[in-house]
Structure 1
Amino acid sequence: MYTQQDLDEAVASGALSAESAVAFRSFVEGQRALPAIDEEHFRLITGFNDIFVSIAAAILLFAVGWIGQSIGQSMGFVVDHNGPSPLAPAGVAAVAWALALFFTAKRRMALPSILLLLAFVGGVFLTVGFTGAAVVGDRPNDQEAIYAGAIASISGLIAALSAWAHWRRFKVPITIAAGAAAAAAIVIGIVIAILGDIETAPNVLWATMLLLGVGVFLFAMRWDSSDPARQTRRSDVAFWLHLLAAPMIVHPVFTLLGLNDGSATISEGLVVILLYVALGFTALAIDRRALLVSALAYVLYALQALFREFGAVELNIALTALVIGSALLLLSAFWHQARAAIVRPLPEGLRAKLPNLDRPATPLPAA
């Protein structure tokens, strides 16, 4: 039995041509009841060994962080006399890079590579942040936000540079999203420092987050439009960017509309549903389901509130789950047909930037 990884390695080594791989995959898909068109292919697990290595790596990184924290406390190098030590995330980042030299660069294991990348970039971010907090020490109450914003911006800058270095060395698709998140932290930190006190103008922070989310979304579309057939690693990069952009767009939108105050009226519930429908059209057009998943919690809450308002108190949760579950399953079953109905009427120039409707069933391994 041949796996996807086997075919990828055969093409990479030259033992099998890319055209033969496409023909074989198309033949296999043709034997199944449904084609794999419009599937969001990305590498997460190449085998159970990925899970095994990820668990072992997580345990090791946890132990390194614990030891680093203990050493930092014994040296007095901690935040606020009894807080976290920069040595803990620094050790995690160093070990994550060292492990990536084998499991990512040589073994090309998907899930461990993702875990190690997140540990490395997150470790660098926290190391710089904790170091800055430890060096600055106690701050005047009226300047806490300024210091916090400055430290967050510097941490985001160093983390973004670290993500760039990791990308240059290992080319893990999620790295670009991690770097984008670090870059967003730079802007958020600057805004916090300028505001001085975010409690006085929370909507400014949410609006900034929304603009950053739109920027990440457009950046993701740039990667997507460079590979409309979704045959290369660029499609994987776009997937993770969309996964990052979705909550950065959805949560601020619903927050700015006042839909996160713990109660929802009938009108607010209808607004949430209409927004979810709009997100659904967008998700179909770009062939990315991340938007629908990110907004799912909001539409579930809104529908539950609507059923409660109409008197279905005992069954409101069950009815909500029934409606949303049925709708999403129906959309999944007819995703390609629904997407074709939305994409075909669009202008030719816009269609050219969207994923192809008739692309091959399975993507090729390529850079």
Structure 2
Amino acid sequence: MYSESDLEAAVAAGAISPEAADALRNHVAGGRSAPAVDEEHFRLITGFNDIFVSIAAAILLFALGWIGSSFGMRIEGNGPSPLSGVFVAAAAWGLAEFFTKKRRMALPSILLLLAFVGGVGAAVGMALVLAIGPEATQNNDAIGGFIGSGAALTGALAAWFHWRRFRVPITIAAGAASVVLLIASLISAAVGDVPNKKDILLGFLLLLGIGVFLFAMWWDSSDPRRETRRSDVAFWLHLLAAPLIVHPVFSLLGLTDGNATTAEAIIVLLLYVALGVTALAIDRRALLVSALAYVLYALSSLFREYGAVELNVALTALVIGSALLLLSAFWHTARRGVVNTLPGTLQSKLPVLDRATTTGAPA
């Protein structure tokens, strides 16, 4: 299976002409009886070798992390060492030079990117704990926020350098996640230990999630036909933004306390419908998936409230599963109905409904 990124690379290398790439896209779209733009392509694996390499790389990185913890200064004498993160990050970068830069393997590239950014952030975080002293970090939100922000800042810088070298689409989302963690850590340190701290953090996370969503829409609007790497970048950003938006909203509504009322359950269902309309408009399913657990719980509570105690879970799964399958089957028709009701200026910033034969420019 070949992704849009593979077609871009083939056109850029001169292996096939832009016209041949467009002909292939249209042929695949016609064979599936749906516009290719609605398929939300992204490459995860190209074959079992991706899985094989990913498993081997994960084992190697785990071993290097373990070995690194045995050298240098360790937290509280027998805890982790900053060298653990250094070893993992260095190995991840070295492996990416071959499996990402040369072999262009999707799943190993994602794993190695996360290992590099996580290794750098962990190394800096553990180094700061050692420098300040583990005892000083206990029950001290200000110092904890400082350490978290330091680790997040270096993680964001690591993601930037990785993007400059390898251009893995998920890298932008990893950098955005580091920035979110950086801001959240600074807010946590600034707020201190106040009674409603959790709600304050949830409110800021919601704002940050909206910011990531708008950032994702910026990438999406630059490639409305979804023919370049920009669309892949936007996909991962939407996947990050969705839980950042959905979880704070439903948590602030009190749905996570285990005692959802009928009114709260109805509000959740209405919000899910609104999320569904938004997902149709932007042609991204991440919002629906991220909110799925909450709406399942809300609908189950409604069935239980009205007497279907024994079958509440089964009825919930039946309703939601059927609705999502029906939406998937008629996604393009439903999306056309939603998009056509929007103002023209907004439609121009959304992914196109139908893609004519055009030449996609490399990202």
Instruction: Determine if the alignment matches structure 1 residue 117 to structure 2 residue 95.
Output: no
SS at 2:79 equivalent: coil
Preserved CA contact (<8 Å) 1:192 1:198:
no
Matches within 5 A, 1:1-367: 3-4=2-3, 7=7, 9-71=9-71, 75=72, 77-139=73-135, 144-197=140-193, 200-359=196-355, 366-367=362-363
SS at 2:236 equivalent: helix
Whole-Å separation in 1 of the counterparts to 2:193 and 2:226 = 44
Q: Which consecutive unaligned segments of at least 5 residues does structure 1 have?
A: none
Preserved CA contact (<8 Å) 1:79 1:130:
yes
Preserved CA contact (<8 Å) 1:79 1:134:
yes
Residues 26-35 or 281-290, more deviating = 26-35
Cα deviation, residue 199, structure 1: 5.3
Cα deviation, residue 3, structure 1: 4.5
Whole-Å separation in 2 of the counterparts to 1:261 and 1:127 = 35
SS at 2:39 equivalent: coil
Whole-Å separation in 1 of the counterparts to 2:77 and 2:287 = 42
Q: Which runs of 4+ in 1 moved over 6 A?
A: none
Whole-Å separation in 2 of the counterparts to 1:364 and 1:181 = 29
Identity across the alignment (%): 65
Give CA deviations for 1:47-95 in whole Å, capped at 9, x if unaligned: 2211111111111101111111122xxx4x1223332221112111110
Whole-Å separation in 2 of the counterparts to 1:197 and 1:117 = 35
Give CA deviations for 1:248-295 in whole Å, capped at 9, x if unaligned: 010011111111111211111111101100100111111100000000
Q: 1:179 to 1:340 in 2, by over 3 A?
A: same
Aligned residues: 362
Query: TM-score, normalization: structure 1?
Result: 0.94
Preserved CA contact (<8 Å) 1:37 1:336:
no
Cα deviation, residue 359, structure 1: 2.0
SS at 1:127 equivalent: helix
Q: Which consecutive unaligned segments of at least 5 residues does structure 2 have?
A: none
SS at 1:38 equivalent: helix
SS at 1:126 equivalent: helix
Cα deviation, residue 15, structure 1: 2.5
Whole-Å separation in 2 of the counterparts to 1:233 and 1:23 = 19
Whole-Å separation in 2 of the counterparts to 1:198 and 1:41 = 45
Cα deviation, residue 208, structure 1: 0.9
Preserved CA contact (<8 Å) 2:37 2:351:
no
- Corresponding letter in the other structure for 2:164: R
Whole-Å separation in 1 of the counterparts to 2:292 and 2:97 = 38
Query: TM-score, normalization: structure 2?
Result: 0.95
Preserved CA contact (<8 Å) 2:82 2:127:
yes
Preserved CA contact (<8 Å) 2:23 2:357:
no
- Corresponding letter in the other structure for 1:46: T
Preserved CA contact (<8 Å) 1:230 1:363:
no
Whole-Å separation in 1 of the counterparts to 2:127 and 2:254 = 37
RMSD of aligned Cα (Å) = 2.0
Q: 1:79 to 1:305 in 2, by over 3 A?
A: same
Q: 1:290 to 1:360 in 2, by over 3 A?
A: farther
Whole-Å separation in 1 of the counterparts to 2:197 and 2:357 = 49
